[in-house]
Structure 1
Amino acid sequence: MTDEKRLPPLLKLALELGPLALFFIANAYAGRFGFAESQRIFVATALFIGATMVALGVSYALLRKLPIMPLVSGVVVVVFGGLTLFLQDETFIKLKPTIVNTMFGVILLGGLYFRKPLLEIVLDSVFALTEEGWRKLTLRWALFFFALAALNEVVWRTQSTDFWVSFKVFGIMPLTIAFALAQTPLLLRHEAKKAEEA
């Protein structure tokens, strides 16, 4: 197996969370730079698009390829963020997490339907699992993505824009980390090496 280039964990985290952090900060403090209250979300969206493109550019420059999930998410950020700015309608940027998470859920379930756990392709270099392990992990992540999409819909439709921005930064990420950590028993139970030794 050829050694693939990998980003250092802290740089990877910075590239993934940096644009999101900038989005939160810009929405919270744009008013201090003379922007009207009603324009804060649009300033934050513009910076979010720019920072996302820079993060993808840095990732590509270092790895000579783009990871699937950040690429898909980045395309949706540019499209829906662009619509938000062009139409001056914050609904589009609020829909972005719903669209992305639903897409990931559908793609993962579609892979299972065709007997190809696609999560294995995304995470193959990180975990070595049995076929059953990949199947179970893929199903769990697909359902989790659907749950995140539904949660985003509830939050943006019932709460203020500021609350939604905070939820996007301080809600979705901790939930995702907690869910990933909760999969540890499954990963240990279905580790490929253990299955081969048995």
Structure 2
Amino acid sequence: MKDQKPWVKPALELGPVMLFFLVFVLKRGETVSLWGQEYGGFILATLVFIPALALATLIQWRLSGRLAPMQIATLVLVVVFGGLSVWLNDPRFFKMKPTMIYLLFAGLLGFSLIARKNWLQAVLSEALPMNADGWRKLTLRMTILFLALAMANELVWRTMSESTWVYFKTFGLPLVLFAFLIANAGLFKAHALPQGDGEGKG
């Protein structure tokens, strides 16, 4: 596996989202005729986003040799819900996609707590070495976070304008996740493993 430049991973992760946002902003309020069907800017942006995300995911896999379960689940749900939106010319399915993703993640993390399995640790331990107690606390907090994000997404897309949802999805959700990481800096420090230690037991 070749060493990746530090900008490659963020570019592949953010590129499809920013492409969706750009197409939506440029075509907002317009209609485009494709295959004998009239599509609005939102559906057109969705149509561009699906292959862009698939391509970015493929490139990440070719560069790293592996994909995180979260990446695979996200791609599958984007293809399913985004495809339904394009096929039925109905943006509601794509707007529901984040809700499904967050509920899926919350369910998996919640089950890992009940089953006493450190699934989050298994995925992120190399990047964030902590002891088992730290991983249990972080898993609980992330379960609550994903449930809150699912509810927030439902509230925004059902009660606010399409443009508001796009801005919320493109900028609001990443900012919430960033704020969550900053807010948990104390937990990361308190439960960090001493340098040279392996993964925490648990």
Whether TM-score is above 0.5 comes out as yes
- The whole-number CA distance in structure 2 between the counterparts of 1:42 and 1:15 is 22
Which residue in the other structure is 2:133 paired with?
A: 132
Tell me, yes or no, if the aligned pair for 1:26 and 1:43 is still in contact at 8 Å: yes
The 1:109/1:8 distance shift into structure 2, 3 A limit, reads farther
Shift of 1:183: 1.0
Which residue in the other structure is 1:74 paired with?
A: 75
Note the residue ranges of structure 1 that are not aligned, 5 or more in a row: none
Q: Please give the TM-score of this superposition, normalised by the length of structure 2.
A: 0.88
The 1:173/1:60 distance shift into structure 2, 3 A limit, reads same
- The whole-number CA distance in structure 1 between the counterparts of 2:17 and 2:181 is 19
Which residue in the other structure is 1:23 paired with?
A: 20
- The whole-number CA distance in structure 1 between the counterparts of 2:152 and 2:84 is 22
Aligned residues: 192
- The whole-number CA distance in structure 2 between the counterparts of 1:152 and 1:91 is 12
- RMSD of the alignment, in Å? 2.1
SS in 1 for 2:116: coil
- The whole-number CA distance in structure 1 between the counterparts of 2:147 and 2:29 is 37
- The whole-number CA distance in structure 2 between the counterparts of 1:6 and 1:96 is 33
- The whole-number CA distance in structure 2 between the counterparts of 1:64 and 1:121 is 17
Tell me, yes or no, if the aligned pair for 2:30 and 2:41 is still in contact at 8 Å: no
Structure with the largest fraction of helix? 1
**Residues 60-103 of structure 1, C-alpha deviations (whole Å, 9 max, x = no match):** 11112112212211111011000001111111000010000110
Which residue in the other structure is 1:156 paired with?
A: 157
- The whole-number CA distance in structure 1 between the counterparts of 2:155 and 2:102 is 14
SS in 2 for 1:192: coil
State yes or no: 1:98 paired with 2:99: yes
Shift of 1:30: 2.2
Tell me, yes or no, if the aligned pair for 1:16 and 1:70 is still in contact at 8 Å: no
The 1:126/1:6 distance shift into structure 2, 3 A limit, reads farther
For 1:178, the aligned partner's letter is: A
**Residues 25-83 of structure 1, C-alpha deviations (whole Å, 9 max, x = no match):** 11110259873896101110011101100111100111121122122111110110000
- Aligned ranges for residues 1-198 of structure 1 at < 5 Å? 7-30=4-27, 35=32, 39-193=40-194
Answer with 20-29 or 66-75: which moved more. Answer: 66-75
Percent identity between the aligned chains?
A: 39
